[in-house]
A and B are shown apart, each in its own frame.
Chain A
Amino acid sequence: MRAEVTQAVVDGLRDAGIDFVSYLPESWLHDVYDTLLADDRFEVVLGTNEGECVAISAGAWLGGRKAAVIFENSGLRVAAETLARLGIGHGIPVLMIMPFRGDLGDKDWWAQPHGHTLIPMLEALGVRYRVVRDDADVRSSIARGWETLHSSKSPVAIVLGAEVCQ
């Protein structure tokens, strides 16, 4: 990921007041993870699957912490049960940031399932989302996503398109 986009993600989190992030690593956002882990303004928790990460950050939100989750969009499928139970069943929201693996132009065959399933999964799970296509929109989209999370109590996803991740 280009350095300016990595910085825009971190600045967007800061603008939203987020200081707690649970995550599972993936390749397109690798630099974001390294930056967050090196920044002591953030508490960063490594989970073992994306559903667990969503639940960890949901628990932090219930305790008054401003929390986000970062993982590959394939993880949305893993997290579906948690998002349905906590998001729809209990109205406990979480902000997710993920790359759009399998987006148009993605050269990896194994990423194609992620591209096929992402948008239908977000919509089925009642997740408010924005696919960010321009570097200039990355920072503001994260802060706006948090505001929508808070006013709607719905899960929100900021999906970083291939144009901004590569």
Chain B
Amino acid sequence: MNRIDCLRALAPHVTDEDLVIISLGGTGLEWNAVRPADTNLFLVAMGCNTPVALGMARALPHRRIVLLETDGSLLLTLGALATLGNIAPPNLRAFVFDNQGYERVKHDISATSGRTDLAGIARACGLDGARTVTSVDDFAAAAAQTMGGDGLSFVVAKVRPGIADVPPRPGDGLEDKYRFVRAVERLEGRPILSAYRAKLD
């Protein structure tokens, strides 16, 4: 299955009240084409997406956090699954788009092209409902079920390598950060970037 078809199946379940953390590469380009929003945080930071989503889920326990992770990024921080299993934030919905390679650098294999099973690792870390889907229909059903339900979820989608013909995404990491945090401020109705004054002597 193609990743963008999964993203199109997921998009109707994502609301303007949700915050979406998106891993780098084709996943970000395609998600931006499918559902552009200020509430998207595009992190060009291998290995950071899952722990950032975990921290955000704990900071905003009343708000749903959607994580669009990739196999290469998650493989760099497998320990984050151990933390995720222990903390188990009920407001986090994780989707891993596993193309079994590092396509942005034109390398067509990752560990998951071999025997590595990310959903299996996640289950062993305590994410009991973690599962792998291999068809768009199964992904759509998993998205509907997890986005419509309560509790932490973890779905691995085995997708075909390749990036859909979508426009490039303008901007840089700093702009993305400011745009996203301003969106969080609007949603939460309180300042984040200018709120703090420490107690100094």
Contact = CB atoms under 8 A, between A and B. Distances in A.
Contact of B200 (A52, A89, A143): A143
Given A52-B51, A91-B177, A60 B200 contact: no
B65 to A, nearest CB: 8
B59 A60 contact: yes
Interface in A42-81: 43, 45-49, 51-53, 55-67, 81
Interface string B174-190: 10111011001100101
A131 B28 CA distance: 40
B195 A64 contact: yes
B114 to A, nearest CB: 23
Interface in A77-113: 81-82, 85-86, 89-92
B48 to A, nearest CB: 4
Given A52-B83, A63-B184, A89 B55 contact: no
Contact of A51 (B47, B173, B188): B47
Interface stretch (B38-46, B96-104, B126-134, B136-144): B38-46
Contact of B58 (A55, A65, A86, A91): A65
B77 A15 contact: no
A89 B83 contact: no
A144 interface: yes
Contacts of B177: 62, 90-92
A66 to B, nearest CB: 7
Main secondary structure of the interface of A (DSSP, over half): helix
B54 A146 contact: no
Nearest to B174: A91
A140 interface: yes
A33 interface: no
B80 A52 contact: yes
B176 A17 contact: no
A22 interface: yes
B192 interface: yes
Interface residues of A, number: 41
B58 to A, nearest CB: 6
Contact of B176 (A52, A63, A90): A90
B111 interface: no
Contact of A81 (B44, B47, B59, B176): B47
A62 B200 contact: no
B198 A16 contact: yes
B173 A45 contact: no
Interface in B4-34: 19, 21
A51 B47 CA distance: 9
26 contacts: A16-B196, A20-B55, A45-B54, A45-B83, A46-B86, A48-B82, A52-B47, A52-B77, A52-B79, A52-B83, A56-B55, A58-B55, A59-B52, A60-B59, A61-B55, A62-B41, A62-B55, A62-B177, A64-B190, A64-B195, A66-B196, A89-B44, A91-B177, A146-B196, A146-B198, A147-B197
Interface of A: 15-17, 20, 22, 43, 45-49, 51-53, 55-67, 81-82, 85-86, 89-92, 140, 143-144, 146-147, 150
